[in-house]
Structure 1
Amino acid sequence: MQILRPTYLSLGSNQGNKLENLQQAIDFIAEKIGAVDRISSVYKTASWGFKSEDFLNVCIRISTGLNPEKLLNSIHEIEHSLGRIRTSEKGYKARNIDIDVLLFDTEIIISKALIVPHKDMLNRKFVMVPLAEIAPNLIHPITKQRIQTCLENCTDNSSIEKTDLTLKRPTSLSEKFNYIAIEGNIGSGKTTLANMIAEDFNAKIILERFADNPFLPKFYEDHDRYAFPLEMSFLADRYQQLSDDLAQFDLFKNFIVSDYYIFKSLIFAQITLQKDEFYLYRKMFDIMYKEISKPDLYIYLYQDTPQLLKNIKKRGREYEQNIAPEYLDKIHRGYSSFIKTEENLKTLIIDVSQKDFLNNPEEYKEIIALIKRQ
C-alpha cells in the first residue's frame, strides 16, 4: 500500500496572469504529485527582497506518495512547464511561478537540494499567514510550536492583504467516485490498470478470480461441451465476490476499483452459449443483476484485435494461446452493444491500442486525467 504523506507547499506569482499561474500550478500538482486537500485564501504582498510587481501568494496542503527527491523534481518540472527558467544567479527576482516545500510530514530534511522545514518560512509573513489559515494547529518539527504561535512570533513587518480572489481545488478520484469498474477484451490491460490505480490512489481492489475456475482450460479445448458450466460458474463466482467485497467497506481505503463488472458475464454468455442455454442463463443473470451495486464509473479499455493477440501471447497463459481473432471480435461487439444500450451507467471508453500505460508514465497520467474529468 502506498503511504501518502501530508505536505505543505507555498506558491507565489508576480508576472503575467498571476491568478491563472497559481491555478495551473495547483492543477499540475494534483495531476503529477498528489491530491490537493486544502488551499488557503489568495494574499497580495509586496515583492520580498527586491523591487517588482506585487505577488499573489497561497499555501496548499497535499497528500503525496512521492519521496522528497521525486517531489522536488516534480515541482521543478511543473515550474519549467509554466515557463519559469531557473538560473545560477543569486538573489530574488520576479517570476511567473514559485513553488516551495515548507513541510514534509513531520520530517526534518537537510540536503544539498532540499531543506525541510523551509529555512526561511518562519520569517516570512507571506508564507506564515496563509499557512496558519489552513493549518493553525500544525506543529513545526523544529520549534515544536503551533503554526499559529509561530506566526504570532514572526518578526516580518511587511504588509499582506487578503484578497477576494479564489482558486479551484482539483477534485481527487476518491471524492468523485466510490466504485470504479474497469473492463475490456481479453488482454486489454484492465487488470494492470486496476492494480496501478489501486496502488496510486489507495483503493480497495477487486480482481476477477479467473485462475481458480477449473472449466476455463477445458472450455478453450472444447467450447460446446464446457460453455454452459463455465459461464454459470463464472456468474456465481462473480456475483458472490462482488456482493461480498462491495458490501465490506474498508476504512483504510479511499474507494473501490475492480477489473470487471458482472455484466461481462452476459456478454460472454451471449457469445459462447446455445440459444436455449442462453435463455436459461439470462433468467438467472437478471435475478442476480438487480442485487449488485452499480459502479459510479464504468471504464472500457478498447484495444484492437492484433494488439490483443500480441498481449495474450506475451503474457503466456497456455490455455489462451489458441484464441481465434474472430472470438475476440465477437467479444468486442458484445461490449459495444452493451455500452450503447445500457443507459444507467456512466461510461468512459479509452482507446489504448497505441498506449503502453504500464511502462510510459505520461500515457498513464493521460488516462488518469481522462478519468478525473468525468
Structure 2
Amino acid sequence: MVTAQTYYIALGSNKGDKFKNLQDAIDFIHVRIGTITRISKVYKSPAFGFDTEESVEDFLNACLVLESHLEPENVLQELLAIETDLGRVRTKRDTYEARTIDLDIILLEDGVVNTETLQVPHPEMQNRRFVLLPLNDIAPKIKHPKLHKEVAFLLEGCVDDSVLEPINIWLKNPSKGYDFSKYNFIAIEGNIGAGKTSLATKIAHDFNAKLILERFADNPFLPKFYNDAARYAFPLEMSFLADRYQQISDDLSQLDLFKDFMVSDYDVFKSLIFSKITLQEDEFKLYRKLFYLMYKDLRKPDLYIYLYQNTARLQENIKKRGRDYEQNIDNDYLEKINSGYLEFLKTQTDFNVKIIDISNKDFMDDRSDYLWVLEEVCGRK
C-alpha cells in the first residue's frame, strides 16, 4: 500500500463569490486528490503585488492540510485543473491578475521539490502574511525544510505588514461528512483477495478508528493447507478458531479513549463459513459445537460489511499481492466461499449487514470509487 504524503495547500480568491470559490475548491480537492484533515480560518486580505493604479478587490485566503497518495506533480496538475474548472483563466501577462481561485502547494511534509513546474516549499511563503497566518492556524510547528524555522517563527518575523481580518464563516470539510457516529464496532468481511484489509486500514486512518487486523500470516498451517487441504483442514481451522477468539476478545476489551470506533478486517463467524467448506461433515459438526461454546457471549459488530468481488477480480487481486501459497487457489474454491458467505448472511437476522458489490470498483487506486464505498458504508451527515 502506497503511503500517503501530507501537503499544505494555500487557497485564495478575489473574484466573484469568493467564499463559494474557496468552498468549491475544497470540495473538488476532497473528491480528486485526497483526505483533508484540517482547514484554517478564512481571512480577508488586501491584494498583494497588483498595480496600484488598478482597482482590485480584497482576497479571501485560507490554508488546509491534505493527505494524498498522489505524487507532487500529479497534485499540482489536479490543482491546476480545479482552477480551470472553477473559471480561472491564466494569461501571459507578467503582472498579477484577479482570479476566481488560486491554489498553491506551500509545503510537503519535510520534503523539497525543485522542477521546472513546481517548487516546494513555495519560494515566497515566508514573505507573505496571507499564507503564514492561516497556515499558522493549522500547522504552527511545521518546519520550513530549507530555512529550518517553524511556521509560527516565520510569521513572527515576516516583513509583510498587511493587515488581515478573520471572517466569521467557516469552510466545511467534506472529509468530515461521513457518518460513522452510530457505530462502535464495524467488521469488514469478504472472500480471499476482496480488499477487506485495505478498506479497514483506509477507514481506520481517515476516520480515527482503532484497527483490528486478523493475524493470519503467522498461522503455520496455512501454506500447508493450500498444498494438502484434506490433511491440514482440521488443524488449520482449529488454530484459526483459537487465534481469532484470543485476538478479538483482547482487542474488543481494550478500549482506546483516543479513537472514535473500532474497525476490523474480519468477523469471527468466518470460521464457520470456511470450516463448512473445508471440513468433512463429522469434523464440521464437532467444530461447530466448539465454536458456539467459545463465541456465544462474544460481542457482535454493529455493522457487518461484506465486500463482494466476482471470481475473476479475486484472482487478479490474489496474483497482484503475490503470496506464494495463494497462487494455486482454484476458481471453484473461491466460488464456494462466496456462496458460503451469502448463505450465512441470509440467515443472520440479528446482524446489521451491508453487502457491497465492488467487482467494478478499485477503491485503492481510484479515489472516486473509495468515496462511493464510504457512501455505501455509512452515508453522509
Q: Say whether residues 1:113 and 2:121 are aligned partners.
A: no
Q: Deviations over 1:18-77 (max 9, x none)?
A: 333323433443455444333221112243326444322112233455543333234334
**How far 1:301 moved relative to its partner?**
1.0
- Which structure 2 residue ranges, 5 or more long, are not aligned? none
Pair 1:288–1:23, CA change in 2 (3 A):
farther
1:333 corresponds to which letter in structure 2?
L
> Alignment partner of 2:216: what SS?
coil
Q: Say whether residues 1:96 and 2:105 are aligned partners.
A: no
2:268 to 262, 271, 274: 262
Indicate conservation of the 8 Å contact 1:21/1:97, yes or no.
yes
Moved more, 116-125 or 78-87: 78-87
TM-score, reference length from structure 1: 0.72
Which residue in 1 is equivalent to 2:41? 41
Pair 1:263–1:117, CA change in 2 (3 A):
same
Q: Deviations over 1:127-164 (max 9, x none)?
A: 22222333444444444544344334434344422110
Which residue in 2 is equivalent to 1:206? 214
- Report the aligned-residue RMSD: 4.7
Which residue in 2 is equivalent to 1:25? 25
Which residue in 2 is equivalent to 1:11? 11
Matches within 5 A, 1:165-180: 165-169=169-173, 170-171=175-176
Indicate conservation of the 8 Å contact 1:31/1:369, yes or no.
no
Q: Say whether residues 1:154 and 2:170 are aligned partners.
A: no
Matches within 5 A, 1:293-308: 298-304=304-310
Query: In 1, Cα distance between the equivalents of 2:254 and 2:56?
Result: 57
TM-score, reference length from structure 2: 0.71
1:334 corresponds to which letter in structure 2?
E
Matches within 5 A, 1:346-357: 347-357=353-363
Q: Say whether residues 1:73 and 2:82 are aligned partners.
A: no
Moved more, 316-325 or 9-18: 316-325
Indicate conservation of the 8 Å contact 2:191/2:337, yes or no.
yes
2:350 to 324, 337, 341: 341
Pair 1:236–1:8, CA change in 2 (3 A):
same
Identity of aligned residues (%): 46
Pair 1:144–1:17, CA change in 2 (3 A):
same
Which residue in 1 is equivalent to 2:292? 286
Indicate conservation of the 8 Å contact 2:214/2:244, yes or no.
no
Pair 1:116–1:93, CA change in 2 (3 A):
same
Query: In 2, Cα distance between the equivalents of 1:16 and 1:280?
Result: 72
**How far 1:90 moved relative to its partner?**
3.6
1:331 corresponds to which letter in structure 2?
G
- Which structure 1 residue ranges, 5 or more long, are not aligned? none
Indicate conservation of the 8 Å contact 2:35/2:206, yes or no.
no
> Alignment partner of 2:266: what SS?
coil
Moved more, 232-241 or 253-262: 253-262
Which residue in 1 is equivalent to 2:332? 323
Indicate conservation of the 8 Å contact 1:191/1:207, yes or no.
no
Query: In 1, Cα distance between the equivalents of 2:269 and 2:145?
Result: 52
Q: Say whether residues 1:61 and 2:70 are aligned partners.
A: no
Q: Deviations over 1:260-280 (max 9, x none)?
A: 221212334566778886665
> Alignment partner of 1:11: what SS?
strand
2:345 corresponds to which letter in structure 1?
S
**How far 1:116 moved relative to its partner?**
2.7
Moved more, 157-166 or 183-192: 183-192
Query: In 1, Cα distance between the equivalents of 2:212 and 2:367?
Result: 22
Q: Say whether residues 1:125 and 2:134 are aligned partners.
A: no
Pair 1:3–1:324, CA change in 2 (3 A):
closer
Query: In 1, Cα distance between the equivalents of 2:247 and 2:367?
Result: 31
Indicate conservation of the 8 Å contact 2:46/2:164, yes or no.
yes
Q: Deviations over 1:79-134 (max 9, x none)?
A: 34544454544432333322112222334443322223322223333222222333
Query: In 1, Cα distance between the equivalents of 2:114 and 2:315?
Result: 51
Moved more, 162-171 or 145-154: 145-154
Query: Number of aligned pairs?
Result: 364
> Alignment partner of 1:323: what SS?
helix
